[in-house]
Amino acid sequence: MTFAPDLLVGKHAFITGGTRGINLSIAHRFAKAGAKVTVIGRDAERAAGAEKQLRDAGATALALTADVRDYAAVDGVIGKSVAAHGPIDVLVCGAAGNFPAPAAAMSTNGFKAVVEIDLVGAFNACRAAFQHLRKPGACVTFISANQAYMPAMLQAHVCAAKAGVDMMMKALAMEWGGSGVRLNSIAPGPIADTEGMARLASTPEARAAAEKRVPLGRFGTKDEVAEVALFLASPAAAYITGAVLAMDGGFGLGGFGLNPLG
What backbone phi and psi angles, to 5 degrees, belong to 76?
A: -65, -45
Residue 216 CA to its chain's centroid (Å): 23
Residue ranges in the chain modelled with pLDDT below 70: 1, 257-262
Annotated catalytic residue 11: no
% residues pLDDT > 90 (the chain): 86
Mean pLDDT of the chain: 94
- Residue 124 φ/ψ, nearest 5 degrees: -55, -45
Q: Which of 144, 185, 202, 234 is catalytic?
A: 144
Annotated catalytic, 162?
yes
Q: Is 13 helix (H, G, I), strand (E, B) or coil?
A: strand
Cα-based distances in Å from 165 to 55, 79, 109, 114: 31, 24, 19, 12
Catalytic residue among 11, 36, 162, 222: 162
